[in-house]
Chains A and B, each alone.
Chain A
Amino acid sequence: MTKGEIVLGCLAPHPPHLVYAENPPQNEAFSEGGWETLRWGYAKLARKLKTIDYDAIVIFTPHWQTYIGTHFLGLPEFKSKSVDPVFPNLFRYNYDLKVDVELAEAMHEETEKAGIITKMMRNPDFRVDYGTITSCHLLNPDWDKPIVTISSNRNSHYYSNEVMIEQAKALGEACMKAIEKSGKKVVLVSSHSLSHRHFVTEAPLPEDMSREHIYNHSQYVWDMKIIDMFREGKMQEVVDIMPEYTEQTIAETEAGGLIWMMAAMGVPSYPAEIYGYQSVIGTGNCIACWDPNTNTRELVL
C-alpha cells in the first residue's frame, strides 16, 4: 500500500454567521448577507480543494469539548439538526454527513499507543458540533467526502496553554502516523478563530456590517503578527509564541487545533496561503492553508 499523506492543512474559522450569510438550503435562518471578505475567501479555498485529490477531511473542533481525553466520531453516518447554543437565531442547520470510521479508528489506536487518553464516540443520538459543520460546509458545500471529527480536550482550562501544546503536538504526530499507515490522502482542518473576544450584544440585524469591527486594537495587532508569521512560513515561531498569543487575545487557539495540525504536518517552514481576515462579532478570523505541494502552492493574498 502506498503511504498515506496530508495533502492540505486548512485554518477554517467557524463563526455560524458565515453559513447564515450564505443562506444554504440546509439552514433555517435567513440573512441579507454579510462578512463577504471571509465568505469569498472560503469560496476560493473551496475551489482549490475541488482540484485536489483526497479521500477524507479530518477536523479538530473547539465545540466538541471533552475533559476526559480526546474523542473521535465513530459511526458511519450522522443526520440531525445542529442548533448553535450561542447563536440559535443564526444557525439551525440540517446535516447529513458521512464519517470515515476506519480512519477514525486508526487515529484512535495510534493516539492511544502514544499514551493519550482517548474514546470512540458511538452513540447514534450524538449531535455533531456546529464548528465541524460550519467549517466543513464552507470548505466543501457538496459534502461529498467523509469526515472525521476530533474533539478538543481542554488542557488549557485544566492545566495551562503549555500543557495543551504538548498534548496537541503528540496528538498531531499520532494522527500523522495513522494517516501514513492508512494509505489515504487526507485534508486536515483546524476549525477556529484567532483572537476570540466577542461583543456581548448583537445588532438588531446581525449582518449589519456597519456594526462589525474587531473587539479592540490589541487583538488586531496580535492577529496581524501571527498572520505575518503564517505568510513567512515561520510556523515553529508560531508554535513557540502560542501560549503568549492565546493568553493575550483569549484566542480560540486555546483548544489546540492549530498546534495539532502543525505537528501533524511536520511544522511547515513554507509560506501559508492567506484567503482572508475579518472580524465576526468582534473576534478575529483568518482563512489560510498550508499546501505541501510546491507545484500547487500559490501566493493568494
Chain B
Amino acid sequence: MSEDSPILFGLYVPPHPQPLLSPDANQGYSNLRAAFETCRKRIEESDADLILVYSTTWPSVVGHQIQALKESIWTHVDDDFHYLGSMPYNFKIDTDFANEYCSAAKKRGLHARTVEYEGFPIDTGSVVALSLLNPDNRIPACIVSSNMYANRSETIVLGKSASDALIAQGKKAVIVVVSSLSNRMFTEHIDPADDRIHSSKDNEWNEKILQFFADGRLEDLSQLSREIHGQIRVQKVVAYKPAWWLASAMGQHNNYQGEVLAYEALHGSGGAVIQLTPSTGSFGDKEFDEDDVEFYQGDRNVLNKGNF
C-alpha cells in the first residue's frame, strides 16, 4: 500500500505563532519549535516534490480555495498576537499543482478555485508551518482552505482530490494539516511562563487523541471527528475536519507509523507536532456506518422541501 501512495508522510502541526516568533518564552514553545525543526530535516531527507498544507486558519465560503500565486510575498501580522512581531514570508508555490488540485476537486463535484493575487493574506497557520518546515523554499508548496460550511462528505472528497492531483502529476508530497487539538485559548493575556492546557478535560481528550495518532490509527480518528468536535473544539465552524482530510488524502485505514514529536500548550490550546508515515499492519477497532464518499453531490436542499 505504501509503495503506491503519492504521500510520503503526513504532519499535524499547530497554527499559533509562538513557535515561530517567541520560541524562548516558554519551554513548551521551544519543544514545539524543535519538533518543527525535526520535521523540516525529515522533509529535506525525503524525496518530496511538494508540501501541501490544509489550514484550519484559512476559512473559505465560496467552495475550496487553493493558493496558486507562484511567488507569494507579504508581511503577515496575527489578529491576536500582533505584539509578538511580524511574519514576513516569501513562499514558492507550485502553480501547476494548484491548478491540477482545483480541477481534480471539480471532477469530484466540489466548487473549487485557485487564488492568484499579489498581497493575498496567507493565514497565520500556513505562514508558521511553511516558515518553519520549508524556510528556504527548498521545494514548492501549495495551500488549500477549509470551507467554513463544509462537513464530512465534502472534506473527504477534498482529501481524495489531493491524492488524485498528486497521482496525475506523478508528484510525491509531504502533506501538512495545520490545526490545534483542543482549541480553547485563555481569553486573557497570560505570562507565557504560566501557559498550560486550558482545562483537564481538554488535556485528557488531547492525550487520548495523541494515543490514537501514536498508534497510527488515522481512520479511527477520522471516524471520531464528530465526537472530538463536540468535546474539545470551540464551535467556530460546523465540524472538526483535519482528520477527515488527512485520512482521505493519505488512505482511510490505520496502517501508519505514528510519532508524536511534541505536545504543548499554546495560550491554553493543545498544540502538537505529529508525523504519520504509511506502513503495513493494521491496528484499530472502529467500524463506521457513515458512507464513504467518492463524489460530492452538494446540499440536499431539505430547507426548501420543509414547507410541503
CB-defined interface of A45-61 with B at 8 Å, one 1/0 digit per residue? 00000000000000000
Is A87's CB within 8 Å of the partner chain B?
Answer: yes
Complexed CA–CA distance, A119 and B79 (Å): 11
Closest residue to B301 on the A side, CB-wise?
A216
B121 A85 Cβ-Cβ under 8 A:
yes
At the interface, yes or no: B80 with Cβ under 8 Å from chain A? Answer: yes
Cβ of A158: which chain B residues have Cβ within 8 Å of it?
A: 184, 187, 234
Q: How far is the CA of A224 from the CA of B249 in the complex (A)?
A: 44
Given contacts A88-B120, A92-B119, A119-B189, A68 and B58 within 8 Å (CB-CB): no
For B62, give its contact among A86, A123, A157 (CB under 8 Å). A86
Instruction: Give, as a whole number of angstroms, the nearest-CB distance from A150 to chain B.
Output: 13
- Asked whether, in the complex, the Cβ of B119 is within 8 Å of the Cβ of A117, the reply is no
Q: Let me know if B291 is at the binding interface, CB within 8 A.
A: no
Looking at the assembled complex, report how far the CB atom of B271 sits from the nearest CB atom of chain A, in whole angstroms: 15
Determine whether B208 belongs to the interface, using a CB cutoff of 8 Å to chain A.
Answer: no
Indicate if the CB atoms of A68 and B80 lie closer than 8 Å: yes
In the complex, per-residue mask of A275-292: 1 if CB is within 8 Å of any chain B CB, else 0: 000000100000000000
In the complex, the answer to whether B83 meets A117 with C-beta atoms within 8 Å is no
Q: A211 to chain B: which residues have CB within 8 Å?
A: none
Q: How far is the CA of A218 from the CA of B302 in the complex (A)?
A: 13
Contact A69 B117 (CB under 8 A): no
Interface residues on B, range: 35 or more
Q: Give the CA-CA distance A65 to B78 in the complex, in Å.
A: 10
User: Contacts A125-B86, A200-B111 given: A218-B303 contact, CB under 8 Å?
Assistant: yes
Near A by CB (< 8 A), chain B positions 188-241 give 188-189, 234-236
Please determine whether A200 and B149 come into contact, CB atoms closer than 8 angstroms.
yes
> Does A296 lie at the interface of the complex (its beta carbon under 8 Å from any beta carbon of B)?
no
Contact with A along B123-157 (1 / 0, CB 8 A): 10000000000000000000000010110000000
How many angstroms between the C-alpha atoms of A83 and B83 in the bound complex?
A: 22
Contact B123 A85 (CB under 8 A): yes
Helix, strand, loop or mixed for chain B's interface? loop
Residue B82 is within 8 A (CB to CB) of chain A in the complex = yes
Bound form: Cα–Cα A281–B149 in Å: 14
Query: Would you call B62 and A201 a contact (CB within 8 A)?
Result: yes
Question: Cβ of B283 < 8 Å from any Cβ of A?
Answer: no
Is A241 close to B, CB under 8 A?
Answer: no
Kindly list chain B residues whose C-beta atoms are within 8 Å of the C-beta of A201: 62-63, 111
* Cα A216 to Cα B305 with chains together (Å): 11
CA distance A295 to B126 in the complex (A): 53
Residue B262 at the chain A interface, CB threshold 8 Å: no
How far, in Å, is A169 (CB) from chain B's closest CB?
Answer: 17
Q: Are A123 and B86 in contact (CB under 8 A)?
A: yes
**B75 contacts the other chain (CB 8 A):** yes
Please encode chain A, from 90 to 102, with 1 for each CB lying within 8 Å of some chain B CB and 0 for all others. Answer: 0010000000000
> A200, B187: Cβ atoms under 8 Å?
no
A200–B301 Cα distance when bound, in Å, is 13
Question: CB of A154 within 8 A of chain B?
Answer: yes
Collect the chain B residues with CB atoms within 8 Å of residue A218's CB. Answer: 303
B152 to chain A, nearest CB (A): 15
What residues of B have a CB within 8 angstroms of the CB of A64 in the complex? 79
Bound complex: CA A254 to CA B253 (Å): 39
Say whether B61 contacts A125, CB under 8 Å: no
Verify A67–B149 contact, CB threshold 8 A: no
Which residues of the other chain, B, contact A126 by a CB distance below 8 angstroms? 77, 82
B149 contacts across to A, CB distance below 8 A? 198, 200
**Contacts of A198 on B, CB cut-off 8 Å?**
61-62, 149
Known contacts A125-B75, A125-B86, A81 near B60 by CB under 8 Å = no
Interchain CA distance A154-B113 in the complex, whole Å: 29
Give the distance to chain B from A124, nearest Cβ to Cβ, in Å: 8
Is there an interface contact between B267 and A121, defined as CB atoms closer than 8 Å?
no
A164 to chain B, nearest CB (A): 12
| Minimal beta-carbon separation of B116 from chain A (angstroms) | 9
* Interface membership of chain A positions 115-159, coded 1 if the CB is closer than 8 angstroms to chain B and 0 otherwise: 001010111011100000000000000000000000101100110
Q: In the complex, which residues of chain B have a beta carbon less than 8 angstroms from the beta carbon of A88?
A: 65, 115, 117, 120
Counting CB contacts under 8 A, is A66 at the interface? yes
Q: Output the least CB separation between B298 and chain A (Å).
A: 9
Identity of the chain A residue whose Cβ is nearest the Cβ of B234 in the assembled complex:
A157
A67 with B82: CB separation less than 8 A: no
Judging by beta carbons under 8 Å apart, are A69 and B119 in contact?
no
Among candidates B59, B187, B304, residue contacting A86 with C-beta atoms closer than 8 Å: B59
14 A–B contacts, CB within 8 A, in A order = A68-B189, A85-B59, A85-B120, A86-B59, A123-B77, A123-B82, A125-B75, A127-B77, A151-B79, A158-B184, A198-B149, A200-B61, A200-B111, A200-B150
The 3 closest A-B pairs by CB, nearest first: A125-B86, A123-B82, A126-B77
Additional A-B contact list (20), CB under 8 Å, known A71-B82, A216-B304:
A66-B79, A81-B118, A81-B119, A85-B58, A85-B59, A86-B59, A86-B60, A86-B61, A86-B62, A87-B62, A88-B115, A89-B117, A92-B117, A119-B83, A123-B77, A123-B82, A125-B76, A125-B77, A202-B62, A218-B303
